[in-house]
Amino acid sequence: MSYQIFTLSPGSTSTKLAVFDGETLRFKANVLHDPERLKAFSRVSEQKPYRIETIMHELEANQIELKDMDAFAAYSGGLVSTPGGIFPVNDKILDDCTSGRLMEHPAILGAQIIHAFAKEGNKPAFLVNPPDVDEFEDVARISGIKGIYRESHVHVLNQKEVAMRAAKELGKCYDECNFVVCHVGGGLSITAQKQGRMVDGNDVLNGEGPMAPNRSGYVPLMPLVKMCYSGDYTLQEMKEKIGKTGGLLSLLGTDNMLEIKQRIDGGDRWAALVYENFAYQLAKYIGSYACVLEGKVDAVVMTGGVSNDEEFIANVKKCAGWIAPFIVYGGDFEMEALAAGAVRALAGEEETKEYTGVPVWSGFDFIK
């Protein structure tokens, strides 16, 4: 049976939509929302009626009928930490997302909007591997400062999707495989996935891991602390150095890979060295996460927009290619992942999980 699946992912000033026939894309759009209208809402959840209105205009213009859908799936955050999986949207999900108690970000609208759509036709609505998934093992959570513990903040949806694709390509089940998975886009996340669980990964939100096109990644701590207390920068400016204007953008003034490659071709030695270091840093982390998997790695899986750069992939493989075969899925597959998850749920290929609102990890309670 072929299921009609509607997928949705809200962004800061737009909402991505797609309709799939099974796992085959039938329609996609990026609906733009007026930034001035959005500013008028004091809370993110108040944007819901306006976003639904603009989404419906797009669907009507393309003759897409919500009543024809068998299920709805969304990218949606604002939850407590959860295990990976497929979650039917329930009252607890809606309470956490609508309240914005854990975050005020457009991502909290995903569950709210698909619930409204699904309710009209009494169809199921799912969250698939939401961004709040945390499957770290306890040993991976400890840092060198008591009270600062590591949590999972990675590109969960795309990370899980490409790992499942790699397992299928190898003729295995996802929960039989060990992978090091690297999502390399504007941000960069890397995970050790052990038999279907992301047991370790870099905390993208808090500046861990290798540098990315516009994120700093790890930098030596004492110089960073001195910069923070120099009086030259505000807290917000320091946050932006780490999460928005770091990495290639800080070092080269651009995070456009095509421009960087052109500069290298023109003889820019600094650009060439930074470009080499970009791959070098990632390869070092691939090696460390191979250690997490005790050297038992079925494949290193590369994804994200930068993974379309064959020279970059070759540079990473030059350092880390001995660890395991590389499997490359350039680009982003989040909408496809949402549809695939909904299909697995409808077909009974994957058992859904109930969101309870109880975090999978909230600290080491036995340390008192």
For 4-8, what is the mean pLDDT? 98
From 281, 283, 151, select the one nearest 211 (Cα to Cα).
281
CATH architecture of 4-133+335-347: 2-Layer Sandwich (3.30)
pLDDT in tens, 96-124: 999 999 999 999 999 999 999 999 999 99
Contacts of 106 (CB under 8 A, 6+ apart): 10, 11, 12, 44, 47
3: Cα separation from own chain's centroid: 25
For 278-300, what is the mean pLDDT? 98
- At 37 the pLDDT is 96
Q: State how far the Cα of 278 lies from the Cα of 283, in Å rounded to an integer.
A: 9
pLDDT in tens, 30-81: 999 999 999 999 999 999 999 999 999 999 999 999 999 999 999 999 999 9
Task: Provide CATH code, domain 138-332.
Answer: 3.30.420.40
- Return the C-alpha torsion angle 263, 286, 196, 198, nearest 10: -90
- At 65 the pLDDT is 97
Q: Where are the domain boundaries for CATH 3.30.420.40 in the chain? A: 4-133+335-347, 138-332
Mean pLDDT of the chain: 96
- At 367 the pLDDT is 76
**128 pLDDT higher than 80:** yes
Residue type, 36: E
Taking the alpha carbons of 319, 320, 322, 327 in that order, is the dihedral positive or negative?
negative
Q: Percent of the chain scored above 90 by pLDDT?
A: 96
DSSP one-letter code for 332: -
pLDDT in tens, 130-179: 999 999 999 999 999 999 999 999 999 999 999 999 999 999 999 999 99
CA geometry: angle at 87 spanning 59 and 125, to 5°? Answer: 25
Give me the half-sphere count of Cα atoms (radius 13 Å) on the Cβ side of residue 88.
15
**341 pLDDT higher than 90:** yes
Q: Percent of the chain scored above 70 by pLDDT?
A: 99
Q: State how far the Cα of 153 lies from the Cα of 148, in Å rounded to an integer.
A: 15
Give this prediction's pTM: 0.94
pLDDT in tens, 356-367: 999 999 888 877
pLDDT in tens, 170-221: 999 999 999 999 999 989 999 999 999 999 999 999 999 999 999 999 999 9
Helices 310-320, 269-292: crossing angle, 10 deg rounding: 50
- At 368 the pLDDT is 62
